[in-house]
């Protein structure tokens, strides 16, 4: 900062040489860890896709997170939760790396101990993943060994370039030698970090190249529906700017799951097993599934983490085969009351057996809005169950259905404080005007959506500033399993106003104004927005 000469200058004082050493030691730690991480990414790309230390540690953190953390992360970052987690891991790793560098410089071998400890956590994370193989140990072990070796080498370099203790004893020749060593240290550090970054990029390219699932999906064409869905009625959709489209395009469909790296399943290797309390275990592969008479249905999927007014909900036309038919082949025993569906990555959901055997459109879906399921939405096969939140029904990348009892098995989120059953709650949302919008006085169109999957919506009312409830006009329903658009023409007068919406379901149940948090079984309350009228 105020140093008269740059540190690499031959005439630098001992004090100036000593000052920056802590930072340089931290830098050595960062470079060493970068080299280790990078080579581990490369190794993962070559032999163990999915076992990258960053991803396995991230996955472990996701699995360890209690319900309130999930809720907090989703409320802060929404569907950007995974990017937020990766940034968090990178920051923690950087802090630990810098700490390891300083410790190794001041008190060897404690810096290496930090690295070995972190490496063992990554190793444990890699080997406890669902479907882990012994090869998955290679990337974390490599990261640990490389980081420890590079750290030792760099801190030795740094010590060689250390200034003599007393300023008085620094001869120009000694100072010049120290400065040269310091430049060498910086060069080695730069090379280590550079190798790490290049190796990480190489690893990314390799995993991208080996993505058989992407290629298979790109070549795959959906078979036609044997039972086409009822067409979406023209009257199901008001043409209003800013109103949520009645069918959510795939690219805009919310995504919520615990999968830090999207499972990539080769459909030719995919099977679904039905096991547990059944008379007859069933196993079906992808070709067999596609050869069955597939049915089309429109179902609105909602996340239990959707707060009142939130956007973790979407509506799609799904193509799939009724789960009820496959369960009929398996013949569940009389005592069974639940199906635990399991995905390829080990995630589970508990669905009441009845919701899968009654006449609703509970399907094993292969198509979404005319396309094969997108990878993030469960390719090649997922479950879609009308009327239940996703966490208890909508298993993506599904590979097993275990017929069981609620008393016997507990699903992923139920072991983390969420309810074991999750029927979707009656709710409604204002889409236009937007929160805090300014509109012109006169007739203002207020519009939004309302849903009560598998029951249906019979009325929607809008209230201005706590006054009377005004009946909104409902668009045509597609079915009881989908959301419904509504609109109301508001004679708006100048000033600030609050608009609230309230839906009534087909059973006459009126949406409650009582506030409930999203945990443990879904939010309640009325969506309210502020608008100023000029
Ligand atoms: N395998 C797997 N399936 C899963 C999940 C998951 O974490 N893993 N999350 C569920 C949750 S909580 C929801 S809300 C829906 C979301 O489905 P979408 O991402 O296709 O919108 O998927 C469900 N299926
Ligand atoms: Mo969810």
Buried b (16+ CB within 10 A) or exposed e, 397-435: bbbbbbbbbbeebebbbbebebbbbbbbbbbbbbbbbee
- Ligand closest to the CA atom of residue 300: 1
Residue 74 Cβ inside 6 Å of ligand 1? The answer reads no
For residue range 145-198, what is the model confidence (pLDDT) as tens digits? Answer: 999 999 999 999 888 877 555 455 668 888 888 888 888 899 999 999 999 999
Average pLDDT, the chain: 91
pLDDT of residue 212: 65
Residue 379 Cβ inside 6 Å of ligand 1? The answer reads no
pLDDT of residue 18: 56
Closest by CA to 29, choosing from 100, 95, 89, is 100
What's the average model confidence in pLDDT over 122-139? 88
Least confident of 167-171, 377-381, 446-450, 487-491: 167-171
From ligand 1's centre to the CA of 394, what distance in Å? 6
From ligand 2's centre to the CA of 66, what distance in Å? 14
pTM: 0.81
Q: Which residues of 226-347 form beta strands (DSSP E)?
A: 271-276, 282-285, 295-302, 313-322, 338-343
Residues sharing a CB contact under 8 Å with residue 437, sequence separation 6 or more, in sequence order = 531, 532
Report DSSP letters for 46-91, one per residue. Answer: HH-TT--HHHHHHHHHHHH--HHHHHHHHHHHGGGHHHHHHHHHHH
How would you classify the pairing of strands 382-384 and 363-368? antiparallel
pLDDT of residue 70: 80
Longest CA span, the chain: 92
Decide which of 133 and 455 is more confident. 455
What's the average model confidence in pLDDT over 29-43? 94
Residue 257 Cβ inside 6 Å of ligand 1? The answer reads yes
CA-closest residue to ligand 1 atom 19: 255
Q: At what angle do helices 138-160 and 21-47 cross, to 10 degrees?
A: 150
From ligand 2's centre to the CA of 305, what distance in Å? 6
Class of domain 234-416: alpha beta
Q: Is residue 514 scored above 70 in pLDDT?
A: yes
From ligand 1's centre to the CA of 391, what distance in Å? 6
Question: CA geometry: angle at 433 spanning 430 and 434, to 5°?
Answer: 80
For residue range 292-332, what is the model confidence (pLDDT) as tens digits? Answer: 999 999 999 999 999 999 999 999 999 999 999 999 999 99
Q: Is residue 257 scored above 70 in pLDDT?
A: yes
Decide which of 71 and 186 is more confident. 186
Class of domain 427-533: mainly beta
Residue 264 Cβ inside 6 Å of ligand 1? The answer reads no
For the chain, the domains span 7-209, 234-416, 427-533
Closest by CA to 459, choosing from 423, 503, 493, 519, is 503
pLDDT more than 70, % of the chain: 94
Q: Is residue 16 scored above 60 in pLDDT?
A: no
pLDDT of residue 11: 39
For residue range 213-241, what is the model confidence (pLDDT) as tens digits? Answer: 777 787 788 999 999 998 899 999 999 99
**Rounded CA separation 252/107 (Å):** 53
For residue range 469-486, what is the model confidence (pLDDT) as tens digits? Answer: 999 999 999 999 999 999
Residue 391 Cβ inside 6 Å of ligand 1? The answer reads yes
Decide which of 231 and 436 is more confident. 436
């Amino acid at each position: 900062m105020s140093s008269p000469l740059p540190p690499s200058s031959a005439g630098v004082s001992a004090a100036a040489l000593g000052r920056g050493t802590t930072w340089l030691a931290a830098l050595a730690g960062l470079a060493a860890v970068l080299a280790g991480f990078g080579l581990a990414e490369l190794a993962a790309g070559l032999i163990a896709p999915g076992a990258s230390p960053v991803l396995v540690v991230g996955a472990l953190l996701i699995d360890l997170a209690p319900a309130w953390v999930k809720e907090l992360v989703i409320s802060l970052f929404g569907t950007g939760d995974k990017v937020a987690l990766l940034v968090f891991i990178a920051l923690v790793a950087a802090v630990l790396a810098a700490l390891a560098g300083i410790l190794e410089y001041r008190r060897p071998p404690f810096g290496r101990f930090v690295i070995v400890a972190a490496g063992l956590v990554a190793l444990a994370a890699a080997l406890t993943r669902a479907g882990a193989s012994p090869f998955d140990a290679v990337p974390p072990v490599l990261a640990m060994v490389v980081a420890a070796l590079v750290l030792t080498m760099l801190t030795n370099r740094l010590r060689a370039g250390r200034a003599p203790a007393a300023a008085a004893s620094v001869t120009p020749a000694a100072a010049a030698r120290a400065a040269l060593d310091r430049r060498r240290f910086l060069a080695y550090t730069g090379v280590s970090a550079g190798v790490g970054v290049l190796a990480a990029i190489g690893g990314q390219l390799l995993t991208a190249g080996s993505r058989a699932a992407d290629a298979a999906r790109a070549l795959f064409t959906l078979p036609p529906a044997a039972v086409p869905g009822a067409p979406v009625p023209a009257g199901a959709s008001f043409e209003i700017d800013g109103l949520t489209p009645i069918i959510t395009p795939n690219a805009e469909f919310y995504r919520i799951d615990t999968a830090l790296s999207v499972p990539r399943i080769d459909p030719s290797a995919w099977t679904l097993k039905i096991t547990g309390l059944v008379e007859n275990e069933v196993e079906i592969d992808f070709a067999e599934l596609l050869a069955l008479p597939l049915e089309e249905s429109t179902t609105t999927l909602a996340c239990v983490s959707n707060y009142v007014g939130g956007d973790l909900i979407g509506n799609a036309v799904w193509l799939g085969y009724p789960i009820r038919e496959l369960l009929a082949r398996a013949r569940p025993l009389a005592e069974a009351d639940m199906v635990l569906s399991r995905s390829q990555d080990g995630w589970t959901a508990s669905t009441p057996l009845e919701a899968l055997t009654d006449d609703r459109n509970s399907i094993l879906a292969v198509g979404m809005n005319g396309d094969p399921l997108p990878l993030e939405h469960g390719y090649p096969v997922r479950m879609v169950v009308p009327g239940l939140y996703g966490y208890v029904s909508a298993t993506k990348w599904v590979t097993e259905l275990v017929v069981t009892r609620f008393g016997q098995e507990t699903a992923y989120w139920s072991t983390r404080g969420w309810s074991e059953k999750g029927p979707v709650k009656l709710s409604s949302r204002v889409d236009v005007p937007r929160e805090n919008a300014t509109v012109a006085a006169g007739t203002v169109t207020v519009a939004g959506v309302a849903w009560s999957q598998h029951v249906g919506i019979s009325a929607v009312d809008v209230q201005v500033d706590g006054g009377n409830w005004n009946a909104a006009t409902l668009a045509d329903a597609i079915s009881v399993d989908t959301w419904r658009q509504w609109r109301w023409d508001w004679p708006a007068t100048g000033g600030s106003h609050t608009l609230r919406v309230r839906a009534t379901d087909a059973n006459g149940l009126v949406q409650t104004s009582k506030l409930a948090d999203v945990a443990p079984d879904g939010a309640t309350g009325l969506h309210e927005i502020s608008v100023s009228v000029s």
